[in-house]
Amino acid sequence: MIPFSPPHIDQKIIDAVTDALKSGWITTGPRTKLLEKKMAEYCGAPAALCLNSATAGLEIILRWFGVKPGDEVILPGYTYAATANVIIHCGATPVFVDVHADFNISADAIGKAITSRTKVIMPVDFAGLPCDYDAINALVKKHAATFVPETEEQRLLGRMLVLADAAHSVGGTYKGKKTGSLTDISVFSFHAVKNLSTAEGGAVMLNMPAPFDNKELYSLLCIKTLHGQNKDALAKMQKGNWRYDIVEAGYKCNMTDVLAAIGLVELERYESETLNKRRHIFDLYAFAFSHYSWAQVPVFEKDHGQTTSSYHVFALRIKGITEAQRDEIIRLIFEQDVSVNVHFIPVPMLSFYKGLGYDIKNYPVTYDNYSREISLPVYFDMNAEIIQQVVDAVTSAVQKVKG
C-alpha cells in the first residue's frame, strides 16, 4: 500500500529526541526557545511562539484580540474545521465566504461580507499556496473607518486583525516574502501530516504593526498559554526563584522540549531537503498529468516564481465529474493500493455547521473545488517509481469512471 503522508522520522530525529530526554529538561525550555528564534529568523518575522497546536495558537490570538459573542470572523468555507471551531469557542460567529479556483479565499467575497461586527479575517493558505495578502491587507485598511473597536487591542490596531491560518504554508512565499511575515499574525501547524512536523505542535508568528511591540506581545502570550502564570517552569528553576503568581485564568498549550527537538532537526533541513523534495514531486505529478485533458493540476507557483507554495497538498481536480464520480474514482484508486485523500470537506457541509444553518449552496466555487478534488500522496521517501504508480492508479480509475 502506498501511504498518503507518513512522517519523515530518521536516526537524526531519534537522536535529537533522545538527547532532549537525557538532558533532564523535557517540557518548555531551551529547545523550544531556540526553535522559536529559528522560526522567526526563517520567516523574517519579529517573534514566534511555539505551542502544542495551530488550533491553540489561533484561539489564543482571537481571545487576546477580544473576540466575543456578537462578533463576526470571516474565513473561507474551504478549510479544515479547526479554523471555524476556534471562532465558535470564543462564542463569535463564523462568516464563511467563497474561494477562488486556486482554492484560496476571495478578497472580493471578504469585502462583501464585512459588517460593523467584523473583528478578524482568517485567510487560509490552502495546500501551502499563500493567499493574496496585498489585497487582503489593503481591504482591512480600506474598511478601517467603519471598524468598531471594543477592546484596548482593537483600539490600538484601529482595524480588523488579519490572522492567517498558515497551517499548510511553512516556507511558502508571496511576492518574494516568506509566510509568517505577510500579515499581522500567522499560525503554522506542526501536526503529524504537515510539512514540518513535531508530531503535534504549532507556531504563532507575530508581525503586529506599531504601536504593538511584538516582543512584549510574545511575553504576554507565554503567560496566557501557561495558566496565566507569571513565571515559566524554567524561570522557577533558577535558584531561590520559587514564588509565582497567577495573573489571569490562562490556558495550557505550551510546546515541550522533546517535540521542539524534532522541530529543530526538521527546520534545519527544511529548505534544502524537505521543500526541494516536495517541489520535485509536485513537478513530476504536474508533468505526468499534463498529458491528460481531464486533469486539472493545482497552481503551486505564480508571479514569475515570486509566489510559491510550500508544496503541502497536491490537490488534483478531475474535470467534468460529480462528487459521486469522484468518490468512485477514490474507491478505485484505493483498490490499487494507493492512499489518497480529500482536502477538505467544506466546513458548511459538516453536521455541526449544517445544524447552525450554513448551506454549501452559498459557496459554489468551494463546492465545485471539493467535489472534483483528490489529494495525492506526497512524502519524503517517495521516488519516481512510486509517483508513476500513483499516476497510473489515478489514470486507470478516472478512465473507468469517465469511460
* DSSP three-state, residue 246: strand
Asked whether position 167 contacts ligand PLP by CB under 6 A, the answer is: yes
Burial of 224 (0-12, 13-18, 19+ CB in 10 A): buried
Closest distance to ligand PLP from the beta carbon of 189 (Å): 3
Positions in 183-202 near ligand PLP (CB under 6 A): 189, 191, 202
Site string for ligand PLP, 106-135 (x = CB under 6 A): ------------------x-----------
Closest distance to ligand PLP from the beta carbon of 214 (Å): 22
Contact, 175 vs 307, CB < 8 A? yes
Taking Cα atoms as reference points, which of 108, 216, 118 lies closest to residue 162? Answer: 118
Contact, 402 vs 294, CB < 8 A? yes
Positions in 38-57 near ligand PLP (CB under 6 A): 53-55
Asked whether position 104 contacts ligand PLP by CB under 6 A, the answer is: no
Among 8, 168, 224, 326, contact with ligand PLP (rule: CB under 6 A): 168
Closest distance to ligand PLP from the beta carbon of 194 (Å): 6
Question: CA-CA distance, 94 to 74, in Å (whole number)?
Answer: 6
Candidate ranges 78-86, 92-100, 101-109, 145-153; the one touching ligand PLP (CB under 6 A): 78-86
Closest distance to ligand PLP from the beta carbon of 53 (Å): 3
Question: CA-CA distance, 277 to 235, in Å (whole number)?
Answer: 40
Closest distance to ligand PLP from the beta carbon of 399 (Å): 31
Beta bridge partners of 341: 375
Candidate ranges 77-85, 97-105, 273-281, 331-339; the one touching ligand PLP (CB under 6 A): 77-85
| Cβ closest to ligand PLP, residue 54 vs residue 265 | 54
Among 80, 174, 358, 370, contact with ligand PLP (rule: CB under 6 A): 80
Rg (CA), the chain: 22
Q: How many residues bind to ligand PLP according to rule CB under 6 A?
A: 14
Question: CA-CA distance, 75 to 53, in Å (whole number)?
Answer: 19
- Cell readout for 5 is 503522508
| Cβ closest to ligand PLP, residue 119 vs residue 168 | 168
Asked whether position 165 contacts ligand PLP by CB under 6 A, the answer is: yes
Closest distance to ligand PLP from the beta carbon of 403 (Å): 34
Question: CA-CA distance, 186 to 114, in Å (whole number)?
Answer: 20
Asked whether position 181 contacts ligand PLP by CB under 6 A, the answer is: no
* Residue at 297: amino acid letter: V
Closest distance to ligand PLP from the beta carbon of 83 (Å): 5
- Cell readout for 55 is 488550533
Question: CA-CA distance, 216 to 166, in Å (whole number)?
Answer: 23
Closest distance to ligand PLP from the beta carbon of 52 (Å): 8
Question: Going by DSSP bridges, is the β-strand pair 185-189/161-165 parallel, antiparallel, or unpaired?
Answer: parallel
Question: CA-CA distance, 175 to 181, in Å (whole number)?
Answer: 12
Residue spans of alpha helices (H) in 101-213: 107-113, 133-142, 152-157
Positions in 219-248 near ligand PLP (CB under 6 A): none
| Cβ closest to ligand PLP, residue 143 vs residue 168 | 168
Among 49, 75, 82, 264, contact with ligand PLP (rule: CB under 6 A): 82
Contact, 76 vs 99, CB < 8 A? yes
Chain residues that interact with ligand PLP, rule: CB under 6 A? 53-55, 79-80, 82-83, 124, 165, 167-168, 189, 191, 202
